[in-house]
Amino acid sequence: MLKLLRWLEDTSAEDLGYGILGAYGIIYTGLAIATGTYWRFQLQFITLLRGILLSAVFQKTLSIHPMDAKKTSISLVSTDIEMACTGLDQLHELYSSLLQIGVGTWLLEQQVGVACIAPIIVAIVCAVATYKISQRIGIYQKGWLESVQTRLNATTSMLSNMKIIQMSGLGRHIFDMIFKFRDFELDSAKSYRGLLVWVMGLAYAPSAISPVITLVIYAATQHNVWDTSSTARIFTAMSLIGLVTSPLAAVFQQIPAIIAAFSCLNRVENFLKQPNMVDRKVIVDRESEAQPTMGPGKQPIALSIPLVECQSNSKPSFAFTSHNASFSYPGSDFPALQNLTINIPWSKMTLVMGPTGSGKSALVKAILGELNISQGVSTRGFDCCAYCDQTPWIGNQSIRANIAGHLEAYQEGLYDETVWACELEHDLGCMPEHDLTNVGSSGATLSGGQKQRIDSHSRCK
């Protein structure tokens, strides 16, 4: 910069001018290549991080109780993971900016001497203020995210029970409730966003104040400020001040974003640390296996015998049994089922009938292992089974994809047989594209009975 300013005063040295032009070309070409390479690897890191977090949350959701998963999984995926990736996107910018600040300060000292400390002093003052404010950002952000989670849970519950809400005439009441949740969310975000405004203001303070203070100190320490050489030094110093203050502003912007990212990662960590759902049933293997025993003082003898493939037909007498067993929902000490003794045989159709609230759904969940056993014992002779919930899960895809999954090859005979068994032939015949018709979000184009039968069909594949 200094050579450029001096050359502009005397343009007779053409070689110097071409050299400066070539130097600028090399600098900006290298800057473009280095920046592109850096962001390529950085975006790869963010993509990998997002994939790891989403996969971990998804796997944890499958291993904990469904009620616990519904509480936080949506907000983790929609808010926390995105904020964590956005904050860590600038992670490497933090220490690289500090290196740039050091180099820029050394170059500035070559031009203005002791006045180079002005940007550093302003930066330290702003850094202390930013640190004090950042200590409270995480607290306010946590409260804001909790309010977002509360609103999302209420909205999800409303959308899944829309028909019941419309039939009961509670639409206006539910609307007012969701509106209040949104107001509370915005109120809880005011403090967090107010602190962000202060942090952003402090981030740009060095850029606005440092040049003035630097020039004042330089003018106070120099006798001939306005001579030709001093003027060139001042313009060079102004460029170098930008080289120092720009990374300073970036650092102050990155600090709250990185703190917020680690706060979100802490919420994800707390979710992943939740205890897995414990299956307390005794699972009886269908195949029995005898173990050899040896008396005291006996030594095993190595034998080599041919192995013959065989299969045992022995299996438990019942698919599920319980004796004086009491079951309760997680987090509740009150038993949903008490002193239950039941035997469910194999290869039989077992019907469970009773009035509303008698525990029919609780019994099914007890068989699945989603309830805790407080006393007694229950055993089952299977390790996996098909289950159709009262609220069927229908994806935004075709009917065939909902039934057979995304497998290109499936047993067409079994598929047609279960279509007949679930009485879906007439329904599929009325569809515009038969079983390739898209059912919309959560099966929006289907009736309640069609959803139940498609869900039952998918369990028979």
Q: What is the pLDDT of residues 18-29, one digit of tens each?
A: 777 787 788 889
> What integer pLDDT is reported at residue 297 of this predicted model?
47
pTM of the model: 0.57
Question: Rounded mean pLDDT of the chain?
Answer: 77
List Cβ<8 Å contacts ≥24 apart for 115-120. Answer: 115/214, 115/215, 115/217, 115/218, 115/221, 115/237, 116/214, 117/217, 118/210, 118/213, 118/214, 118/217, 119/206, 119/210, 119/213, 119/214, 119/241, 119/244, 119/245, 119/248
Q: What are the tens digits of pLDDT across the range 416-460?
A: 777 787 777 787 778 787 877 887 777 777 777 777 777 776 666
pLDDT over threshold 70, residue 399: yes
Range(s) of the chain covered by CATH 3.40.50.300:
318-380
Cβ distance 148 to 83 under 8 Å?
Answer: no
263 — phi, psi (to 5°)?
Answer: -65, -40
Domain 1-273: which CATH number of 3.30.70.141, 3.30.750.24, 1.20.1560.10, 3.40.640.10? 1.20.1560.10
Superfamily of domain 318-380: P-loop containing nucleotide triphosphate hydrolases (3.40.50.300)
CA 215 to CA 237: how far, in whole Å?
9
Alpha carbon distance 236, 3 (integer Å): 9
Confidence of residue 409 (pLDDT cuts 50, 70, 90): low
Contact 397, 457 (CB under 8 A): no
Q: What is the reported pLDDT for 2? A: 56
pLDDT of residue 279 exceeding 70, the answer is no
- Is the CB of residue 339 less than 8 Å from the CB of residue 324? yes
Tens digits of residue pLDDT in 187-200: 888 888 888 888 88
Helices 91-112 and 117-160 cross at an angle (nearest 10°) of 160
Q: Where in the chain is the domain with CATH 1.20.1560.10?
A: 1-273
